[in-house]
Amino acid sequence: MRTSINQRGRRGAAVAAGAAATALILSACGGGDSGVGGTGEVEAQDCPCEIRFSWWGSDERHAATQEIIDAFEAENPDITVVPDFTDWDGYWNKLSTTVAAGDTPDVMTQEERYVSDYATRGVLADLGELDIDTSKIDESILAGGRIDGTQYALPTGINAYAIVANPGVFEEAGVEIPDDTSWTWEEYVEVANAVSEGAGEGVWGAQDYGFNEAGLNILARQKGESLWTPDGEIGVSEETVAQFFQTSLDLMADGGQPDASRTIEYQHAGPEGSLVGTNVGGMASFWSNQLGALSEASGEDIQLLRYPGETEFERTGMYYKPAMFYSVSATTEYPDAAAKFVDFLLNSEEAAKINLTDRGLPANTDMREVIADDLTDADKQVADFMADLGDEIVDASPVPPNGSAEMQDIMERINTEVVFERITPEEAATMFMEEVNAAIAD
């Protein structure tokens, strides 16, 4: 069965019992001549069928995902889901190798920097041709997996890049946590410097934020720009990039953040080893789904704050980022079985209760309500924070173009040069534009 992704209503359809049973078997296992778009259309095969699902993550995620697979197979005994998982570092090399060998997983996990690459190479199916209910996912979130009007990926959940604040450090410094609905970039620097001064030696107001392009994207959006344009080009100005890097130097100049050597050390320590996570820093930048790890490591009720500058320029810059995506292979032998599994991942209460927020706050708004009572205090704060942002977010951030996966390495390399003061923010901005343009042109 093929249903437009914008016209879902299959759960409420009235179907005669005998026809429904037959349709369920065919739909689940790919009976008939159903196929999906891509480089080639394949003829689906009869049951029983076996599909492969690939993902990355921790041991905890692997165990939870296997539990979800078991629940799906219990409801769909004719479909076997073969797990195919690894850690983040090995995932993309493995996926690239299997795709090149013509052995693409039937269902795969994607990340926003890779969607365009795999979609434009014909690896991913047009999900608008498959029977997956997306009626409970906000349109702005769906847009993150859509290229030129075709839905190649569906979001698992949402995150937001935010400032995290350690209330214990602020209290020690005698500084109030700022009002994140109105603070400016200048006030961000002032607050960080005040925390460093008030807390004393060995404690800093902020951890450097310049290693992640998400913070730059927020500043760009505030100024009416964007990291990427819908056409897949750089959308941020050289002036804004220079301003972004300058803030780091402003903080270092007055002791608001650590020196360059310590900055690099804390950058590679993860949430648990960060300034905020070890109670020696007042603020840092992290994704909202990392709040739990930060709170557990620090023993504090770490708070989420909007990025500074949300009322300072042309518009707000905060945005929802799809935590990750599910995609279906364009050459799967079992497109309907794959679609049925993706639908279960997104819309099943049982899957939601197992997964909770491990793949972001559920993209399906109904599932957020389903898991609300099972959330930790940190995850409840994340859910409230995301809900508060809802009316403030102007639009979705465009899908990153081919080559954007190099952005992380570019940011880390250039920001390292900036904090060691080997190049100026203006030189860093020029280098950024040149290197990113080269990356997306290849």
H or E stretch at 408: helix 407-419
Structure tokens, 410: 């570019």
Q: Above pLDDT 90, what percent of the chain? A: 77
Kindly report, residue by residue over 44-65, the tens digit of the pLDDT: 456 699 999 999 988 889 999 9
Q: How confident is the model at residue 29 (pLDDT cuts 50, 70, 90)?
A: low
Q: How confident is the model at residue 302 (pLDDT cuts 50, 70, 90)?
A: very high
CB 313 within 8 A of CB 294: no
DSSP lists the bridge partners of residue 287 as 161
Global pTM? Answer: 0.84
Q: How confident is the model at residue 88 (pLDDT cuts 50, 70, 90)?
A: confident
Among the ranges given (15-24, 209-218, 286-295), the one the predictor scored with the smallest mean pLDDT: 15-24
The answer on pLDDT for 370 being more than 60 is yes
Tell me, what's the pLDDT at 22? Answer: 39
DSSP lists the bridge partners of residue 234 as 228
* Mean model confidence pLDDT for the chain: 89
CB 297 within 8 A of CB 277: yes
In three-state secondary structure terms, 272 is coil
State the CB neighbour count (10 A cutoff) for residue 39. 9
Euclidean distance between CA atoms 33 and 42, whole angstroms? 8
Cis peptide upstream of residue 48 (ω within 30 degrees of 0): yes
Euclidean distance between CA atoms 55 and 84, whole angstroms? 7
Euclidean distance between CA atoms 4 and 382, whole angstroms? 32
Tell me, what's the pLDDT at 140? Answer: 85
Q: Which of 334, 321, 318 is nearest to 398 (CA)?
A: 321
Instruction: Give the end-to-end CA distance of the chain in Å, rounded to a whole number.
Output: 39
Tell me, what's the pLDDT at 60? Answer: 87
Tell me, what's the pLDDT at 64? Answer: 94
List, by residue range, all CATH 3.40.190.10 domains of the chain. 2-18+44-156+324-387, 160-320+403-441
CB 15 within 8 A of CB 25: no
In three-state secondary structure terms, 109 is strand
Among the ranges given (144-148, 246-250, 432-436), the one the predictor scored with the smallest mean pLDDT: 144-148
What's the mean pLDDT in 399-419? 92
Structure tokens, 219: 């500043």
The answer on pLDDT for 375 being more than 80 is yes
pLDDT greater at residue 31 or residue 205: 205
Tell me, what's the pLDDT at 119? Answer: 93
- What's the Cα-to-Cα distance from 436 to each of 225, 234, 408, 441, rounded to whole Å? 16, 8, 10, 8
What's the mean pLDDT in 214-233? 95
Euclidean distance between CA atoms 159 and 48, whole angstroms? 37
Q: Side chain identity at 173, as an amino acid letter?
A: A
Euclidean distance between CA atoms 262 and 256, whole angstroms? 13
Output phi, psi for 332, to 5 deg: -60, 145
Euclidean distance between CA atoms 442 and 436, whole angstroms? 10
Q: Which of 81, 127, 125, 118 is nearest to 100 (CA)?
A: 118
Tell me, what's the pLDDT at 402? Answer: 87
Tell which phi-psi region holds residue 165, choosing left (phi > 0), alpha (psi between -120 and 50) or beta: beta
The answer on pLDDT for 26 being more than 70 is no
Structure tokens, 255: 């002791």
Query: Per the CATH hierarchy, to which homologous superfamily does domain 2-18+44-156+324-387 belong?
Result: Periplasmic binding protein-like II (3.40.190.10)
Burial degree of 96 (CB within 10 A; 0-12, 13-18, 19+): middle
In this structure, are strands 157-159 and 321-322 parallel, antiparallel, or unpaired? Answer: antiparallel
What's the mean pLDDT in 340-365? 95
Q: How confident is the model at residue 13 (pLDDT cuts 50, 70, 90)?
A: very low
Euclidean distance between CA atoms 14 and 397, whole angstroms? 38
The answer on pLDDT for 30 being more than 50 is no
Euclidean distance between CA atoms 433 and 241, whole angstroms? 9
- DSSP annotation of 363 reads S
Cα dihedral across residues 137, 138, 140, 141: positive or negative: negative
The answer on pLDDT for 37 being more than 90 is no
Tell me, what's the pLDDT at 438? Answer: 95
CB 395 within 8 A of CB 190: no
What's the mean pLDDT in 326-339? 96
CATH class of 160-320+403-441: alpha beta
Kindly report, residue by residue over 382-407, the tens digit of the pLDDT: 999 999 998 999 988 888 998 888 99
Structure tokens, 62: 């692997």
The single residue listed with the structure tokens 């290229």 is 147
Structure tokens, 144: 């993150």
- DSSP annotation of 50 reads E
Structure tokens, 32: 């008939």
Euclidean distance between CA atoms 284 and 294, whole angstroms? 10
Q: Above pLDDT 70, what percent of the chain? A: 89
Q: Side chain identity at 312, as an amino acid letter?
A: E
The answer on pLDDT for 4 being more than 60 is no
Euclidean distance between CA atoms 262 and 415, whole angstroms? 14
Tell me, what's the pLDDT at 223? Answer: 97
Kindly report, residue by residue over 264-281, the tens digit of the pLDDT: 999 888 888 999 999 999
DSSP lists the bridge partners of residue 271 as none
Euclidean distance between CA atoms 266 and 269, whole angstroms? 5
State the CB neighbour count (10 A cutoff) for residue 339. 28
